[in-house]
């Protein structure tokens, strides 16, 4: 990974191989290197990790942060596709990371908006709601299935 960052000729090959290393620490370091790399294959390697449903969560999270750092329009489609992979309440933080990455890409590419944030999600990111006070009683009434809306700022 360090060879790739130093732009050693064999570094590109090693970096590509490191992304799929079975040791998650090596693969994560390779993804972090891709975020800072000027190599043309970097977006394709990151996109492959983002598209793979079997990517371990920790590695996927590193790939999302790398995409946010690269700010490449080529990574928007795989990021949006990942929203379909990570559906469900247990993935709220991952979806928020994806939205943050797409927002960063949008800001880095003014005039060439990658995607309207309103079309990315139905206008909000949902998270479990905190208990609310009942209007009929002075006690706190938990509403376990209620969701709160967090607006996405375009």
pLDDT 10s digits, 61-87: 999 999 999 999 999 999 999 988 888
pLDDT 10s digits, 11-64: 678 888 889 999 999 999 999 988 888 877 889 999 999 999 999 999 999 999
> Please, which pLDDT band fits residue 138 given cuts at 50, 70 and 90?
very low
The model scores a pTM over 0.85: no
If phi > 0 it is left, if psi is from -120 to 50 it is alpha, else beta; for residue 55 that is: beta
C-beta neighbour count of 115 within 10 angstroms: 17
CB-based contact 50:79 (threshold 8 Å): yes
pLDDT at 77: 93
Residue 151 has pLDDT above 70, yes or no: no
pLDDT at 126: 42
Q: What is the mean pLDDT of the chain?
A: 75
Alpha-helical runs (H) found in 6-128: 11-19, 24-36, 42-51, 57-70, 76-85, 92-108, 117-120
Average pLDDT over residues 85-99: 88
**Which residue has better confidence, 1 or 32?**
32
pLDDT at 91: 87
Residue 104 has pLDDT above 60, yes or no: yes
Residue 145 has pLDDT above 50, yes or no: no
């Amino acid at each position: 990974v360090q060879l790739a960052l130093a732009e050693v000729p064999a570094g590109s090959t090693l970096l590509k191989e490191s992304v799929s290393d079975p040791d998650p620490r090596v693969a994560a370091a390779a993804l972090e290197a891709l975020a800072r790399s000027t190599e043309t294959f970097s977006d394709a390697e990151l996109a492959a990790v983002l598209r793979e449903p079997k990517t371990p969560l920790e590695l996927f999270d590193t790939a999302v942060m790398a995409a946010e750092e690269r700010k490449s329009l080529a990574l928007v489609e795989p990021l949006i596709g990942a929203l379909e992979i990570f559906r469900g309440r247990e993935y709220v933080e991952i979806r928020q990371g994806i939205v943050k990455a797409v927002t960063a890409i949008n800001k880095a590419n003014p005039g060439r908006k990658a995607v309207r944030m309103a079309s990315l999600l139905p206008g909000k990111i949902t998270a479990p709601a905190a208990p609310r006070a009942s209007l009929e009683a002075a006690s706190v009434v938990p509403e376990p299935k209620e969701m709160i809306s967090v607006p996405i700022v375009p």
